[in-house]
Chain A
Amino acid sequence: MKKLNSILAVAIFSLIMVSCGNNNESKRSGGAMSSNVAEKVYVAPGEHDEYYAFLSGGYSGNLTVYGLPSGRMLKEIPVFSQFPTNGYGYSEETTPMLETSFGFIPWGDAHHPDISQTNGELDGRWVFINENNTPRIARISLEYFETEEIIEIPHSAGNHSSSFVTENTEYVVAGTRFSVPYPQEDIAIDQMKGNFKGPLTFIAVDENGGMSIDFQLKMPGFNYDLSHPGRGDSHGWFFFTTYNTEEAHTLQEVNASQNDKDFIAAVNWKKIQEYVRNGGGEEIDANYAHNVFNHSTQTATTTMMNKVLTVDPRDVEGAVFFMPTPKSPHGCDVDPSGEYIIGNGKLSTDLTIHSFSKMLKAIENKDFDGDAYGIPVLNFDATLAGVVKDGGLGPLHTEFDDKGNAYTTFFISSEVVKWKLGTWEVLDRQPSFYSVGHNMIPGGNSRKPDGKYMVSLNKITKDRYLPTGPELEHSAQLYDISGEKMELLLDFPTHGEPHYAAGIHADKIKANSKKIYRLDENKHEHATLNESETRVERNGNEVHVYMTMVRSHFAPDNIEGIKVGDKVYFHVTNLEQDFDVPHGFAMIGANNSELLIMPGQTKTTTWEPTKVGVWPFYCTDFCSALHQEMQGYIRVSPKGSSQELKWSLD
């Protein structure tokens, strides 16, 4: 009977979704843009946007960079997916970036970008982003706009409540959404309850950005959905929403929606850090890859790690508590002051707000309502600060401005809702097109948000743009939030499925952005820094071509003596030192991507010729007036031919 009720409830939700869609249709017709609105998003040709926005690519595995308020896409940064556009994940230098304990993985599901912080403010050094499928965390440099480091998270599955950073980037966290045996073992799935765990991993970040796993917190086998750090007074704590506290292992859409309340886990990481530093925790076997891209050698290396420190939360007194939170909360957001912890109960109309100071008091008074696997559950009323009533249907995420307001997305009723912190009163609502997932305000997850614009990241696009067949890009909307009421300014398509974004004022980044790779700092093992050093070397059936490129020729551009069955390594260096003068390298029949090589860079691709003949290669980037002439030939002789190696550029 219970099951039937739930199925009915889901059916009703579906109906609501459909009817909401119709409502939105009518609201939309009134949305003609006034010229005033157009001016607000108009960035004149040659002018720069005021903000950078980093949008996750979801199943594209990458990170896209947008300018706000124009909504123009500036770049796609490859992170967890191969990127034939520039050779990332194909070149010899970058394939180690995609190594894992499962071997080479060409793809990822990138979710939650978060910018590094100092004293609770965005500092613009790095963006971190999590891979949900094969749990990993990446760090992207905001000088080079390149992925510099990827660390795999052992013992985790569904790396979703990740990659959020603490106030001084002490840690980036990686939670577990799909609880699993810890460590993995061969057991019956229906033995899940009590046997599976949901480890929460705390990755320490050093001053150069280097990541290392400090400890894993062995939490009960709930689903840890999202998280955010405390700030201000609550700095030192981390908060995670959970769902499926039922620990259901099948038909979760019903079976994981039975408990009226799940939990927000409050983790005092400072306490655990101290415990670990004093020798606490247990080192257990693990198997995970740590991939680091070295800018000096322009080459990535993989180090396989085999130990991780695990901490049982029950062993650290006063470190972990559960706060009951209604209706399978999704987003877990902390306001700029650090006092309010918002649980976005995705199967309800309400938001539950916990108070950090009340939480401390409840802990002090031992105001517990039993425990879950030995972890104290705090009394619901004791931590409750307030409830935002009837905000909408299906709240997912909340961001904040600098004036004490919060902005929550409602997936089912497809709208963004502005409400007041402290009074919990709803101030404004605007439709989103359609079914908004996450929203983003630049700095909205720091002590100092920039309350000028808000972006909503929508899950359903339908008719917002010219039709392009059944498969569509997702859509984002930009709102002006500087006034009393939110004002919809702009629609723009996004790439992949952005699950979250991070925005920052352009002034914090743009002066640091590099223009070239310096040749005099190029320590690549196979770099050729001068045309006079270009050469071809044979080592058995391996042939190494040390090649340079400069407007508008390759050196060498004629090579003979390659034979069928050889494996040819092209180590290609771009000798330019001028801003934005890339050259490309493409070899006919190479079972690999091209290379896009920026000034001062060296990249390597391989080619295994299978056919006798004279085969051309060419520059793929229209680099100069003589770009079409930037080409060369390789003569391939039969296997066993006595043709000597020779090369030239005349």
Chain B
Amino acid sequence: MKKSGILMIVGSALLLGLFYFPLWNITLGAPQYPEPLGMDIYISGIEGKSEFDIQNIDGLNHYIGMKKIPKPEEMWEFNIFPLVIGGMAALGILLGILGFFKKISPHWFFGWFVLMLVLGVLGMYDFNIWLLDYGTDLDPKAIIKLTDADGNPISYKPPLFGSQKILNFTAHSYPRLGAWLMFAGMFLTLFAWWVGKRSVRPKSNL
């Protein structure tokens, strides 16, 4: 149980990487932008990949009537996400310590993992809703109004994951180091459960 407790502590501590590294990144390349514009999405806000990228993306987006990229205080998510991540990391570390001292069963680790998975999926769902809103809720006085073949306004929603062409831009949307650390951490907690289960079983056979 010692080994699995340590794995649980390390795994949930890896979530704390999200406070230092971006969760996600969207870059926008175009013929005129050989050095793509980019935004790094952190759990507490959005920053430009280069110093003036946010300003420049907003500048371009005003032509198609998109809203400005939200500042941290303009989205509740940027207040809640740090609390959730911090809380889950603390909870995971606490469970790991308790497991280390054999105070609890390794199934608690699995419980933590499931909760984290649910929260993660909710987070992605919320993120996608925001992208959809951002890409489709356009100013009716927009300078450039484009419609698809059916006459509906086209969507400028960047992909949640992957690459997609939007007018002259190609948007690339992929996880970044913070997310990779989180995935690795979650995998470790699952691994902690499995290791814990195996170390507990032989004892019960005695």
> With a CB–CB cut-off of 8 A, which chain B residues contact A626?
63, 143
> With a CB–CB cut-off of 8 A, which chain A residues contact B59?
550-551, 576, 578
Restricting to A618-650, which residues have a CB under 8 Å from any CB of B? 624-626
Q: How many Å from the CB of A542 to the closest CB on chain B?
A: 33
Q: How many Å from the CB of B48 to the closest CB on chain A?
A: 10
A101 at interface, CB cutoff 8 A:
no
**A579–B143 CA distance with the chains assembled, in angstroms:** 23
> With a CB–CB cut-off of 8 A, which chain B residues contact A579?
35
**A577–B143 CA distance with the chains assembled, in angstroms:** 22
Encoded as 1 (CB less than 8 Å from any B CB) or 0, chain A from 206 to 227 comes to: 0000000000000000000000
Restricting to B74-125, which residues have a CB under 8 Å from any CB of A? none
B206 at interface, CB cutoff 8 A:
no
Q: What are 12 A-B pairs at a CB distance below 8 A?
A: A516-B52, A550-B59, A551-B59, A576-B59, A577-B52, A577-B56, A579-B35, A624-B63, A625-B63, A625-B144, A626-B63, A626-B143
> With a CB–CB cut-off of 8 A, which chain A residues contact B144?
625
Restricting to B123-159, which residues have a CB under 8 Å from any CB of A? 143-144
> Which residues of A approach B to under 8 Å, CB–CB?
516, 550-551, 576-579, 624-626
> With a CB–CB cut-off of 8 A, which chain B residues contact A578?
52, 55-56, 59
Q: Would B55 and A577 count as touching, CB distance under 8 A?
A: yes
**A551–B55 CA distance with the chains assembled, in angstroms:** 12
Q: How many Å from the CB of A463 to the closest CB on chain B?
A: 39
> With a CB–CB cut-off of 8 A, which chain B residues contact A551?
59
Chain B minimum-CB-distance residue to A551: B59
> With a CB–CB cut-off of 8 A, which chain B residues contact A516?
52
> With a CB–CB cut-off of 8 A, which chain A residues contact B52?
516, 577-578
Q: How many Å from the CB of B139 to the closest CB on chain A?
A: 15
Q: How many Å from the CB of A520 to the closest CB on chain B?
A: 10
Chain B minimum-CB-distance residue to A550: B59
Q: How many Å from the CB of A511 to the closest CB on chain B?
A: 14
Q: How many Å from the CB of B32 to the closest CB on chain A?
A: 9
> With a CB–CB cut-off of 8 A, which chain A residues contact B56?
577-578
> With a CB–CB cut-off of 8 A, which chain B residues contact A577?
51-52, 55-56
**A626–B143 CA distance with the chains assembled, in angstroms:** 9
**A269–B50 CA distance with the chains assembled, in angstroms:** 48
Q: How many Å from the CB of A347 to the closest CB on chain B?
A: 54
> With a CB–CB cut-off of 8 A, which chain A residues contact B51?
577
Chain B minimum-CB-distance residue to A579: B35
**A577–B51 CA distance with the chains assembled, in angstroms:** 9
> With a CB–CB cut-off of 8 A, which chain A residues contact B55?
577-578
> With a CB–CB cut-off of 8 A, which chain A residues contact B35?
579
**A625–B51 CA distance with the chains assembled, in angstroms:** 24
**A576–B56 CA distance with the chains assembled, in angstroms:** 8
Chain A minimum-CB-distance residue to B51: A577
Q: How many Å from the CB of B28 to the closest CB on chain A?
A: 13
**Given A551-B59, A577-B52, 8 new contacts (CB under 8 A):** A550-B59, A577-B55, A577-B56, A578-B55, A578-B59, A625-B63, A625-B144, A626-B63
> With a CB–CB cut-off of 8 A, which chain B residues contact A576?
59
Chain B minimum-CB-distance residue to A600: B52
Q: How many Å from the CB of B74 to the closest CB on chain A?
A: 19
**A614–B56 CA distance with the chains assembled, in angstroms:** 34
Q: How many Å from the CB of B68 to the closest CB on chain A?
A: 14
Restricting to B37-90, which residues have a CB under 8 Å from any CB of A? 51-52, 55-56, 59, 63
> With a CB–CB cut-off of 8 A, which chain B residues contact A625?
63, 144
**A124–B178 CA distance with the chains assembled, in angstroms:** 40
**A597–B99 CA distance with the chains assembled, in angstroms:** 65
> With a CB–CB cut-off of 8 A, which chain B residues contact A624?
63
Q: How many Å from the CB of A61 to the closest CB on chain B?
A: 33
> With a CB–CB cut-off of 8 A, which chain B residues contact A550?
59
Q: How many Å from the CB of B64 to the closest CB on chain A?
A: 11
> With a CB–CB cut-off of 8 A, which chain A residues contact B143?
626
**A625–B143 CA distance with the chains assembled, in angstroms:** 10
**A579–B59 CA distance with the chains assembled, in angstroms:** 13
Q: How many Å from the CB of A614 to the closest CB on chain B?
A: 25
Q: How many Å from the CB of B82 to the closest CB on chain A?
A: 28
Q: How many Å from the CB of A11 to the closest CB on chain B?
A: 59
**A579–B35 CA distance with the chains assembled, in angstroms:** 10
**A578–B35 CA distance with the chains assembled, in angstroms:** 11
**A347–B55 CA distance with the chains assembled, in angstroms:** 63
Q: How many Å from the CB of B53 to the closest CB on chain A?
A: 9
Q: How many Å from the CB of A650 to the closest CB on chain B?
A: 12
Q: Which 4 A-B pairs have the closest CB atoms?
A: A577-B52, A578-B56, A577-B55, A551-B59
Chain A minimum-CB-distance residue to B59: A551
Q: How many Å from the CB of A597 to the closest CB on chain B?
A: 16
Most-contacted residue by chain B among A550, A576, A577 (CB, 10 A): A577
Most-contacted residue by chain B among A550, A579, A626 (CB, 10 A): A579
**A625–B30 CA distance with the chains assembled, in angstroms:** 14
Chain B minimum-CB-distance residue to A580: B32
Q: How many Å from the CB of B167 to the closest CB on chain A?
A: 11
Q: How many Å from the CB of A634 to the closest CB on chain B?
A: 24
Chain B minimum-CB-distance residue to A629: B143
Chain A minimum-CB-distance residue to B144: A625
**A625–B144 CA distance with the chains assembled, in angstroms:** 10
Encoded as 1 (CB less than 8 Å from any A CB) or 0, chain B from 3 to 45 comes to: 0000000000000000000000000000000010000000000
Chain B minimum-CB-distance residue to A599: B52
**A626–B142 CA distance with the chains assembled, in angstroms:** 12
**A625–B146 CA distance with the chains assembled, in angstroms:** 14
Q: How many Å from the CB of A288 to the closest CB on chain B?
A: 42
Q: How many Å from the CB of A445 to the closest CB on chain B?
A: 35
Chain A minimum-CB-distance residue to B57: A578
**A325–B99 CA distance with the chains assembled, in angstroms:** 95
**A578–B63 CA distance with the chains assembled, in angstroms:** 16
**A625–B145 CA distance with the chains assembled, in angstroms:** 13
Chain B minimum-CB-distance residue to A576: B59
**A625–B168 CA distance with the chains assembled, in angstroms:** 12
**A192–B169 CA distance with the chains assembled, in angstroms:** 72
Chain A minimum-CB-distance residue to B56: A578
**A620–B143 CA distance with the chains assembled, in angstroms:** 21
> With a CB–CB cut-off of 8 A, which chain A residues contact B63?
624-626
Q: How many Å from the CB of A32 to the closest CB on chain B?
A: 37
**A579–B55 CA distance with the chains assembled, in angstroms:** 12
**A626–B59 CA distance with the chains assembled, in angstroms:** 12
Q: How many Å from the CB of B198 to the closest CB on chain A?
A: 55
